[in-house]
Amino acid sequence: MARVAVDVVIKPEILDPQGKAILAALARTGHPGVSSVRQGKHFDLEVDDSVSDDDLEQIAGTLLANPVIETWTVSRLGGNNHHSEPALAAPEAAL
């Protein structure tokens, strides 16, 4: 088994009204130094050895992200060295 992280972000040229709303809220709450916010999505996947890098690219590019408006990165996180992240410590619990 391996853990994989997929991060999806909106392309720079695509309008991100949610990011703009967050930016406005930050300015209101005393963080005027933040000049840009782009909202994205993060996916944690648990996959077995049959899932290749090509499979992961296809998963990310055809379902997790919409290539028209989004870009993505796929990162294999390795084995058991991620216990520090609560969301990953007991993935079965989420099912």
Residue 52 found at the interface with another protein (CB under 8 A): no
68 binding another protein? (CB under 8 A): yes
Q: What's the gap between Cα 88 and its chain centre?
A: 14
Selected binder of another protein within 63, 90, 94, 95 (CB under 8 A):
63
Task: Using the Cα atoms of residue 84, residue 89, residue 94 and residue 95 in order, give the sign of their dihedral.
Answer: positive
Residue 58 makes contact with another protein by CB under 8 A: no
The 10 Å Cβ neighbour count of residue 60 is 22
Query: Which residues here bind another protein, judged by CB under 8 A?
Result: 14-15, 17-18, 21, 63-64, 66, 68-69
